[in-house]
Structure 1
């Protein structure tokens, strides 16, 4: 589990394309300082497993499903990526619950600079819209953010100088794809509330009373 607090901007050192996967080597002196084989590291919000650690970098495999669902399919040597190690039990919970299971991606639509922050409007896929609410949480490229505004097909976040400087979101131009992970609590609530509703509908259709 992660919290969406980026620890380091890593650099893609090497990309090896395979028939149905890719292998990435990421230069990241901070996050590999205590990394071992089998550890989890979020790369642009995608939870990946460390295969090897060598010379201030780690290697990880990305399967086809992950490539299809995230912007890692277009990653190239020299690209910067947001990195976060898995949450330690003793650590502060600074963001929100982030699983590293990307739900989809959207394009940056608009950037509006202000004196002390910047508003960024991002495309919201219809399949995810029901999980995104004003003042709720969302992970964008693995960064825990608060939704400032939302409409039918987009949402807006406000980025402070630290986020602009220390994450990839400071450099995402309009048209760039970003990984999105909605709040997992919203998905569980939806499933838990849908089951009783479905049971009630079945009871009414068969002419029986719904029981608790």
Structure 2
């Protein structure tokens, strides 16, 4: 479980093709902070995708396997050596919930539709699958590239967010351009509410 509060920006060191049908790629990522107490089997969110540490070769690098399903459903397939990624360790028991409940289970890939610079912030619009739009609410929460954000407005196939200076400097969202793909995770509470209501209505 995560909160969408990015701890550091990591760098992709290498993308190694998988050696069997179950693993499509093995990512080597440098993140000195998140590896400071990492162990084999720990979970680290990489740009919003929960991945399991399989190796810790040293020099602040951790290695994760990426399954074919993950590449199909996320924007990780476009990563290359040198790319920057948002990193967050799993929330420890008793840790602060600075963002919202984030699972690291990406629901879909959106696209940066527009961004406009304000006096001290950027207003950004992101397209998403209309099937996901029903889970997004104005002033609600959404995860973009692993970052917990507050929704400013919602349309049939897009939503808006405002990026404060800290978000612009401490995450990769500050450098994203129009047309860039982004991993999206909608609020899991909305999905559970829909499921419970549907089940109740079927009785």
Per the shorter chain, which TM-score range? over 0.9
- Is contact 2:45–2:104 with CA below 8 Å preserved after alignment? yes
The answer for the alignment partner of 2:12 in structure 1 is 12
SS in 2 for 1:145: strand
- Is contact 2:43–2:51 with CA below 8 Å preserved after alignment? yes
- Is contact 2:108–2:128 with CA below 8 Å preserved after alignment? no
SS in 2 for 1:127: helix
C-alpha distance in 2, partners of 1:64/1:168? 24
User: TM-score when scaled to structure 1?
Assistant: 0.92
Aligned-residue CA RMSD (Å):
0.8
Structure 1 gaps of 5+ residues are: 200-212
1:69-108 to 2 correspondence within 5 Å?
69-108=73-112
The answer for the alignment partner of 1:31 in structure 2 is 34
Aligned-pair CA distance for 1:74: 0.5
The answer for the alignment partner of 1:115 in structure 2 is 119
Please say which structure displays the higher CA radius of gyration. Answer: 1
C-alpha distance in 1, partners of 2:128/2:31? 31
The answer for the alignment partner of 1:181 in structure 2 is 185
- The number of residue pairs the alignment matches comes to 199
C-alpha distance in 1, partners of 2:141/2:26? 31
C-alpha distance in 2, partners of 1:117/1:171? 13
Structure 2 gaps of 5+ residues are: none
The answer for the alignment partner of 1:148 in structure 2 is 152
1:59-70 to 2 correspondence within 5 Å?
59-70=63-74
SS in 2 for 1:194: helix
Deviations 1:20-66 (Å, cap 9, x if unpaired)?
51000001111000000000000000000001112210000000000
1:121-132 to 2 correspondence within 5 Å?
121-132=125-136
Aligned-pair CA distance for 1:126: 1.2
Aligned-pair CA distance for 1:116: 1.0
Aligned-pair CA distance for 1:170: 0.5
Deviations 1:133-152 (Å, cap 9, x if unpaired)?
10000000000000001111
Moved over 4 A (4+): none
The answer for the alignment partner of 1:204 in structure 2 is none
C-alpha distance in 1, partners of 2:50/2:108? 14
